[in-house]
Structure 1
Amino acid sequence: MEQEDGALRESLLALQRDLSGQGEQLRPQSRCVSQAEAEGELTEVLLKFLKNRITRLHIAAFLTQSVVHQTLQGDLSSFAKTKETQESTEENGGNEELLCSEALLHYCLQCLQDVISKWLEQLPPFPPPPRDICVSVHAIRNTRRKMEDRHVILQDFNTLFGIKDSIPRSYFAVFDGHGGVDAANYASTYVHVNVARHEGLKQDPAQSLRESFQKTDAMFLKKAKRERLRSGTTGVCTLLEGDHLHVAWLGDSQALLVRQGSHVTLMDPHKPERKDERERIESLGGCVAFMGCWRVNGTLAVSRAIGDIDQKPFVSGEGDVTSQILSGTEDFLVLACDGFYDTVSPPEVPGLVLDYLQESGGNWQHVAERLVTVAKEGGSSDNITVLVVFLQHPQKLLEDIQAQGSVEEQALFDFGGEAVEVASDNAG
């Protein structure tokens, strides 16, 4: 422990020395943010910055939470945009006070300096590290002009948001943008913040996920209106909470659970040709037309998404949710965009993962890369993102595969020996 604390102090000293120069290189994601967006904006920028400098990731998450909390406790009124900017925003339908992101981030970095100084005087009691979960992720632009997918991995969910109870939580998400990257960037920054701050998280986490999708959609539509953005994004996210798995989705990105080598269907993606989706769209005055594939009003191939301001309310921002109690027999979870599932069917996934583990001797880090390669070789031309969350350690899965193989070999041997003996009796 003393050795780890010594290494942390050295990292903090190095961070303190370099912060002024590095801080000038840091840039906010947006030019301005509302009060409701400030926590997500600062958390996203600061966590990425600190993850590259603090090797113990749960400490980086704890430092991020401490600094963002201190920042938001301060007087932020001095960071309000100019009157001219506010008037321009109101012309575009906004009525929120906006903060200058660059000034807000600069203040946040001052708070970071302050917190580091306090830590160097006396390190605080740190929260315990989260349960170590093996996660493999791989994403490619493929043949598309732009990469519009985004993904989120937060094993330190409780630490990052200062949630203090005995229930471990981890959050994973994949967002598949279209018409630009703005909506996918936004969803990957704010959905988990809205989940963490939902008042019903501890009582009804599934409902918290559902309503956080809707809230994020409403927040992004305000931004889209004031900044004239037209993009959208589908998404699938999972919250691992103790022995419960909660899944929320919008559109055709999907989550797949594998239990004892067999796939478990968790969800039905939102596509315009689904009977209930078509009826919902038509009841609102829209239409579903076939143009290469089924599309909402002849444009979008998904019927629910965050954003797509020009297609509201036909393209809904209301997600669906499902929950599962984990028995301990689950192998892994796969989250992926439609660029993967377009050419790889759910029943194929367990075999692909388990075969690769066996071929590679348990090299789980590249499992997602193998899945992406299979999808691309199968003909997918879309962006492809695959995120694999192992619910059993990959080494144990490999041992189970090998043990199963030994049992099957013995069974074949036994059957063969018996067959020879019978044949010999018949010959006599």
Structure 2
Amino acid sequence: MMSAAPEKTELEARHVLDSLLREFPTPLGPEDSCPARLQSTGLSWEEVEGEGVEMGLKLLRDRNLLPILATTLMHSAIIHIHQLDISAFSNKEEPDQDEEEVVLLDGELVARSVLNKLLEVCRNWIKEPQFLQLPKQYLKVSSHAIRNTRRKMEDRHVALLEFNALFGMKDEKERAYFAVFDGHGGVDAAIYAATHLHVVLAHQEQFSAQPAEALRRAFKQIDEMFLQRAKRMKLRSGTTGVAALIAGQTLYVAWLGDSQVMMVRQGQVVTLMDPHKPEKEDEKQRIEELGGCVIFLGCWRVNGTLAVSRAIGDIDQKPYISGDADCATFELDGREDYILLACDGFFDGIEPSRVVHLVQEHLRDHAGDGSSVAETLVAAAKEGGSSDNITVVLVFLRDPQIILKEGQPQVGSENAGLDSKCPQAQGSSETTPQLIFSSVDKVNQTKDLTC
């Protein structure tokens, strides 16, 4: 039984699922319209899980199903889909394949199969509810995103507290995943990364033993997968990205480009990373050695076009725009207040040190309630002059009430011990102050930056 959740929650879950199954009392047939669709009409087999999960979770979450139950049901459904013969989804009007021989599957057939399996899993759960292991780790998320003055919203973000449930992980280590993707030249790359990166991460061979390396490789694989799609569909977009995986008492981060993650610990700003910018000497040298150039046109740009030096996608600018992420590992000791992930549009209008004041003021004004603090931060970045899309994901690692009670912080800056031998830990930019190296005992960090 669902003993890990209150009885009221179980009754509410039953009500949601009963309503869903009354809406779809029988499996969807070829003549029935799908209540939800995949993002792609044609997709590869390795894209099925990501798009299927995204579609199924949206269907359940739109009906306000408990997230831990939604992810558990989705995991059961997608496991069954993986056991089906790939030929069941073959596109009967399959276009000529390129030299990589990608087999494109019919998106409508995949969507119908995923939804039918999900409905079957829901029926089985109502007949025999399963035990749900609710996360014990304290994590609360506040997220907000605005288009701002831009014509289109090209950011995407992910907050997945139920990582273990979604991927059927049964060990004692609790995990949560967060990411921000800042698209450019269109939203396709950002949507793709937000849909697939956590799925690819969970299936990396190194995931259990070397999570940081798994995260770095997942970024690379997503870049390769999206470039394959970009070639098929003539897409030219790209996206920077930053992702954080909390596994037990360890934080793993990886990034491409100038989206960033920062940490605040007992009111002190902790630098976790150094963004990739074309004007950085190591990035400029890498680009020039490949035959490209970095020139100043209002800001520093690769080949006179993009203002970032690493990103997923950007097929026309490969290899100058690298798809190789950097990663780092940090041990958490319980004194950390929160981490914040954001696109460059946020840091264009807000210095990291000011984040501490803004969060503290918000908590004071809202009696320790941090649920809408991301909205306050986004508004402040806009008022600070940012005209770009702005996305903020703030993850509280401690109760905001405790943070509030500790009073006004002494704002300072700690560096989390970036390896000075790594070129990514050198230099400065307009949005990130020059790093000052501190002793390792200030922040327990495993040096894991990829140079």
Tell me the TM-score normalised to structure 1 length. 0.90
Structure-2 residue corresponding to 1:95: 101
Secondary structure, aligned partner of 1:108:
helix
Q: What code does the residue aligned with 1:177 have?
A: G
Please tell me whether residue 6 in structure 1 is matched to residue 3 in structure 2. Answer: no
Which is worse superposed, 384-393 or 51-60? Answer: 51-60
Structure-1 residue corresponding to 2:91: 81
Please state how far the C-alpha of 1:402 moved relative to its aligned partner: 7.2
Superposed counterparts of 1:252-271, under 5 Å: 252-271=258-277
Distance 2:365 2:335 in 1: 23
Please state how far the C-alpha of 1:130 moved relative to its aligned partner: 5.1
- Return closer, same or farther for 1:129/1:261 CA change in 2, 3 Å cut-off: closer
Secondary structure, aligned partner of 2:186:
coil
Please tell me whether residue 163 in structure 1 is matched to residue 169 in structure 2. Answer: yes
Which is worse superposed, 353-362 or 303-312? Answer: 353-362
Structure-1 residue corresponding to 2:62: 52
Distance 1:328 1:118 in 2: 40
| Contact 2:44 2:104 survives alignment (8 Å) | yes
2:197 to 191, 199, 205: 191
Q: What code does the residue aligned with 1:249 have?
A: W
Q: What code does the residue aligned with 1:224 have?
A: A
1:28 to 38, 44, 48: 38
- Return closer, same or farther for 1:223/1:148 CA change in 2, 3 Å cut-off: same
| Contact 2:339 2:396 survives alignment (8 Å) | yes
Superposed counterparts of 1:54-203, under 5 Å: 54-82=64-92, 85-87=94-96, 89-90=97-98, 93-129=99-135, 131-203=137-209
| Contact 1:86 1:97 survives alignment (8 Å) | no
Please state how far the C-alpha of 1:56 moved relative to its aligned partner: 1.7
Which is worse superposed, 362-371 or 329-338? Answer: 362-371
Unaligned runs of 5+ in 2: 1-5, 411-451
1:16 to 6, 13, 21: 21
Please state how far the C-alpha of 1:270 moved relative to its aligned partner: 0.3
Please state how far the C-alpha of 1:351 moved relative to its aligned partner: 1.3
Equivalences, count: 400
| Contact 2:138 2:398 survives alignment (8 Å) | no
Please state how far the C-alpha of 1:185 moved relative to its aligned partner: 0.1
Please tell me whether residue 287 in structure 1 is matched to residue 297 in structure 2. Answer: no
- Return closer, same or farther for 1:217/1:166 CA change in 2, 3 Å cut-off: same
Unaligned runs of 5+ in 1: 405-428
Secondary structure, aligned partner of 1:347:
helix
Distance 2:218 2:111 in 1: 25
Distance 2:326 2:176 in 1: 19
Distance 1:402 1:286 in 2: 48
Please tell me whether residue 352 in structure 1 is matched to residue 358 in structure 2. Answer: yes
Please tell me whether residue 388 in structure 1 is matched to residue 394 in structure 2. Answer: yes
Q: Identity of aligned pairs, percent?
A: 51
- Write 1 or 2 for the structure with the bigger share of helix: 1
Deviations 1:99-132 (A, max 9, x none): 1111111011111222122222211233334534
Please state how far the C-alpha of 1:27 moved relative to its aligned partner: 1.5
* Bigger radius of gyration: 1
| Contact 1:130 1:155 survives alignment (8 Å) | no
Structure-2 residue corresponding to 1:226: 232
- Return closer, same or farther for 1:140/1:204 CA change in 2, 3 Å cut-off: same
Distance 2:175 2:43 in 1: 28
Superposed counterparts of 1:250-329, under 5 Å: 250-329=256-335
Distance 1:380 1:31 in 2: 36
Which is worse superposed, 112-121 or 213-222? Answer: 112-121
| Contact 1:94 1:226 survives alignment (8 Å) | no
Secondary structure, aligned partner of 1:332:
strand
| Contact 2:179 2:244 survives alignment (8 Å) | yes
Secondary structure, aligned partner of 2:34:
helix
Deviations 1:147-194 (A, max 9, x none): 000000000001001111110000000000000000000000111001
- Return closer, same or farther for 1:290/1:302 CA change in 2, 3 Å cut-off: same
Please state how far the C-alpha of 1:352 moved relative to its aligned partner: 1.4
Please state how far the C-alpha of 1:212 moved relative to its aligned partner: 0.2
Structure-1 residue corresponding to 2:422: none
Structure-2 residue corresponding to 1:409: none
Distance 1:2 1:359 in 2: 34
